[in-house]
Amino acid sequence: MRLGVLEGRAVVVRGDRAADVATASRGLLPADPMALLEDWPRVRDWATELSEDAYDLAVDPAALGAPVPRPRQVFAVALNYPPHAAEAGYTPPEEPLVFTKFPACITGPHTTVALPEGRVDWEVELVAVIGRETYRVSEDRAWDAVAGLAIGQDLSERVSQLRGKPAQFSLGKSFPGFGPIGPALVTPDEFDDPDDLEITGLLNGKAVQHDRTKSMIFPVPELIARLSAVLPLYPGDLIFTGTPAGVGNRMDPPRYLTADDELVSRIEGIGEIRQRFTAPKNSEPRGSRTTAP
């Protein structure tokens, strides 16, 4: 099942067609995707019975919105791929390094992002979406808590991110538009192996990041088990699971996003999201040269 959002309404997507959930269910299910996630097992079972006639909407990928537009909690994980930890000058962590992206930064899969002052970097990531309230779940049961997977970009303004001691990870990664996700929420049963997906980031058509999610130090089930050992996870919560090597601030010389750049993020079995960028009001970067994971 692939859950998308068109004009603010939840739809089940199949190829280039979609079924409006509220219409196809004759009002038994809500149009609001956040409300659907509160009753996810029922929604998933209902979708398996959809007839071909229900898919009566044409889907323009550029029109899709964020499949989870208003998450309560957004977790993110740093240095979760060994090559990225190495390029950042760190040894692989023994515990997940967790921060948050504030929910106001979440946006849809095809967007134009106004660059703030500073140095904005890219980080393609697999995003796990929680589908039921989960607390202290074991790792071997953790996939049961996942509604689906999406693609995300953990866009990062490196100057604000590293300002002060300790650094301001969450602020530097939460400017407007800095959390695009999509193009749809894809249920784990759609994949041959949801723990092993090809992940690629392209800048102006050139691959800058590439790996497989099986390379993660802490895979999705372990992240869910570790997070839920501390606090409850709720339907619609997002987990940005970390980025592969190839971020711009570790290039020589560093490369940051500029006006008219196009960033494409792809994950096997999910699709792609696409961002373009416009110039900040003041294009002079603030602060000194910085590096960050």
10-residue averages of pLDDT along the chain (293 residues): 97 97 97 97 94 95 97 98 92 95 98 97 98 98 98 97 87 97 98 98 98 98 98 98 97 97 98 96 47 48
Model pLDDT, residue 293: 54
User: Tell me, what DSSP letter sits at residue 233?
Assistant: B
Tokens at residue 208, please?
């800058």
Q: Rounded to two decimals, what is the model's pTM?
A: 0.94
Give the side-chain half-sphere CA count within 13 A for 79. Answer: 17
Whole-number Å distance between alpha carbons of 87 and 233: 31
**What backbone phi and psi angles, to 5 degrees, belong to 173?**
-115, 15
Model pLDDT, residue 282: 60
Tokens at residue 81, please?
């791929």
Model pLDDT, residue 165: 85
Whole-number Å distance between alpha carbons of 147 and 132: 8
Identify the residue whose tokens are 């134009």: 112
